[in-house]
Amino acid sequence: MAGSLLKAIEVSKSFAAVQALMNVSFSIGPAEVHALAGENGSGKSTLIKVISGVHAPDSGKIEIEGATFDHLTPMQSINQGVQVIYQDFSVFPNLTVMENLAVNSELAEHRFFVNRKRMRSIAEEAISKIGFDVDLDETVESLSVAQKQMIAISRALLFNTKLIIMDEPTTALTRKEVRTLFDTILSLKEAGIATLFVSHKLNEVFDISEKYTILRSGEVAAHGVVDELTEEKFSYYMTGRTFEKRHFQPKIQSDEPVLEAKGISRNRQFHDVSFSLKRGEILGITGLLDSGRSEVALSLFGISPIHSGQLFINGAPVNIDTPQAAIRNKMGFVPEDRLTEGLFLPRSIADNIIVGEIDKLTRQFSFLDRQQLGKEVERWVGKLAIATPDPDNACLTLSGGNQQRVVLAKWLACNLDILILNGPTVGVDIGSKYDIHGILQSLAGEGLSSIIVSDDLPEILENCSRILVMKSGRVVANLDSEKTDESEILSYMM
């Protein structure tokens, strides 16, 4: 580990009976882009907090440029040149870009009076470091996620930064925005600044990182040079499992479509979209963020009803103008943001599973049939392998992958014919992603018809037999997944 900027040496940390880190050692060199990977619960966040001084390790040390610390404080970490950019970016949405950029400098220098000219000078210096073009007087809440992230990076560079830790930095970014972020990371490298890139996404680790450290269950499962890493090894080190390649093939062939859209449009969102969905089929809809793909999904479920065109279910015309109308037609919808739109997080896992079939489980005088409810919960916890010691536990106690299984269980319990999934594995780690794909393919074999809306092209190619590519609100290609690849899809998307 000679010539290291930062070293973690045999770091351990536990919380009550949970061992979050066990003898973790790794190092980052100056100007190095280093990937810290691992599934949810692997210990990544705890390690970041030890390095940044939020948590004191139970044992082990942190060494920064030769200075050794048994326990860093947050201010010591910052003074040593370490900056952390968390997923929420820690920006003030009600303040301007200038105020967000200058506020830490003002506080660090213990200034009592605001000097707008000085703050503007600080802000201009900050954005110039990465060539970030933005209106300094714009309120931050009106900016895109990518712009907020650039504000956080610019602000971090004001403090003689030597290492920037980015915690899952691409979670809410589009493909184009991810590319811009990677360009920024490379420019930081040229300026001599190291990046610890925290992620569980295989393609990102390969795209941007030179070296890697993979955590599993709080221990280092592997570390080394990314050029010597394969996809198969990466997946195994992350999960301890071996995944076989699989491509979805519909097992049920039906002549008549379950769902058909003929020339559907919604003003200023998408235009003249037509497709059919047969029983047991998985249809993919992909495109960039502003392509109209998500808007089509919302319209199919009646959240944002179509303005023209016609939908047919089992050959009969239907008017899906509300989610209730969609549900009456045996249609379900898995939203992209499960935390705010898909689950009642403080409620139990059991409550979340049966919420859609309350009427079916209610006996005379509005009493719930507890015995039947228990059987139904047990059925779906088992069928979807939801990892929980007790279904009465709050849903917020589950990992992201298990929360997504609960969302699936909620809809599948309603005996659907059609399931629309908008970003079904966003924020889900490799193992859970593979399992969820397996569940969807298995359900298709039982006759469920699904639509996956996603810009994750490997996900679309592996799970869909047909793919609609959207651009500027229109379908620009209708592809057979066996006869296409990522490069062809991207050529239509771009």
Q: How confident is the model at residue 201 (pLDDT cuts 50, 70, 90)?
A: confident
Give the Cα separation of 371 and 350 in Å (integer).
Answer: 13
- Based on the fold, state whether residues 306 and 225 are members of the same structural domain: no
Residue 209: pLDDT above 80? yes
Compute the radius of gyration of the chain from its Cα atoms. Answer: 25
Element (H, E) at 476: strand 474-480
Segments of 145-218 assigned E as strands: 163-167, 194-199, 211-216
* Cα separations in angstroms, 475 against 227, 296, 298, 458, 489: 38, 11, 16, 20, 12
> Which residues neighbour 331 within 8 Å (Cβ) at sequence distance 6 or greater?
259, 300, 301, 313, 320, 416, 417, 418, 419, 420
Number of domains within the chain: 2
Last residue in a domain, options 209, 239, 269: 239
Domain presence at residue 251: no
Q: Is there a domain that residue 252 lies in?
A: no
Distances in Å between the Cα of 335 and the Cα atoms of 339, 375, 454 are 9, 26, 11
Domain boundary among 239, 273, 296: 239
- The CA distance from 485 to 129, in Å, is 38
Q: What are phi and psi of 316, to 5 degrees?
A: -100, 135
Q: How confident is the model at residue 210 (pLDDT cuts 50, 70, 90)?
A: very high
| 244 in any annotated domain | no
What distance in Å separates the CA atoms of residue 97 and residue 95, rounded to the nearest whole number? 7
Distance separating alpha carbons of residues 354 and 362, to the nearest angstrom: 11
Residue 368 has pLDDT above 90, yes or no: no
Pair (198, 267) in one structural domain: no
Are 178 and 273 in the same domain? no
The more confidently predicted of residues 245 and 26 is: 26
pLDDT at 324 over 50: yes
pLDDT value of position 213: 97
Give the residue-averaged pLDDT of 345-364.
81
In a domain, 245, yes or no: no
> Domain with 216 in it: what CATH number?
3.40.50.300
- The pLDDT of 339-353, averaged and rounded, is 88
Say whether both 195 and 83 belong to one domain. yes
Q: 107 pLDDT exceeds 90? A: no
Distance CA(36)–CA(163), nearest Å, equals: 14
Asked if residue 365 has pLDDT above 80, the reply is no
Instruction: Provide the mean pLDDT of the chain.
Output: 91
Percent of the chain whose predicted confidence (pLDDT) is above 70: 97
Examine the pLDDT at 334 and tell me if it is beyond 60: yes
Specify if 302 maps to a domain. Answer: yes
**Quick one: pLDDT at residue 254?**
80
Strands (E), 381-448: 418-422
Same domain, 213 and 262: no
CB 320 within 8 Å of CB 260:
no
Q: Please write the tens of the pLDDT for every residue from 130-155.
A: 889 999 999 999 988 889 999 999 99
DSSP string, 315-347: TEEE---SHHHHHHTTEEEE-S-IIIII--TTS
Q: Are residues 221 and 287 in the same domain?
A: no
Residues 79 and 134 in one domain: yes
Q: Tell me which range, 290-294, 359-363, 447-451, is most confidently predicted by mean pLDDT.
A: 447-451
Query: What is the C-alpha separation between 185 and 352, in angstroms, rounded?
Result: 41
Contacts with 403 (C-beta within 8 Å, 6 or more apart), sequence order: 338, 339, 342, 343, 395
Domain that holds residue 337: 257-493
Task: Give the pLDDT confidence score for residue 175 in this predicted structure.
Answer: 76
CB atoms within 10 A of CB 384: 21
170, 294: one domain: no
Q: What is the mean pLDDT of residues 77-90?
A: 89
Window from 31-40, 210-219, 349-358 with minimum mean pLDDT: 349-358
Contact 97, 134 (CB under 8 A): yes
**Residue 1's pLDDT is what?**
44
Residue after which a domain boundary falls, among 239, 269, 289? 239
Query: Do residues 204 and 284 share a domain?
Result: no
For residue 367, the model assigns a pLDDT of: 67
Where does the pLDDT of residue 43 fall: very low under 50, low under 70, confident under 90, or very high at 90 and above?
Answer: very high
Bigger pLDDT: 426 vs 364: 426
249-282 pLDDT, tens per residue? 888 878 889 999 999 999 999 999 999 999 999 9
pLDDT at residue 340 in the model: 79
For the four alpha carbons of 484, 485, 488 and 491, in that order, the dihedral sign comes to positive
Q: Is residue 341 part of a domain?
A: yes
In a domain, 315, yes or no: yes
185 part of a folded domain:
yes
The answer to whether the CB of 12 falls within 8 A of the CB of 23 is yes
- Residue 494 pLDDT: 82
Q: Tens digit of pLDDT for each residue in 448-491?
A: 999 999 988 999 999 999 999 999 999 999 999 999 999 999 99
12 and 53 inside one domain: yes
Instruction: Average the pLDDT over each of 271-285, 317-331, 361-375, 385-399 and give the range with the smallest value.
Output: 361-375
472 SS3 class: coil
Give yes or no: residues 115 and 200 share one domain.
Answer: yes
Structure tokens at 304: 């944002």
The verdict on 215 and 312 lying in the same domain is no
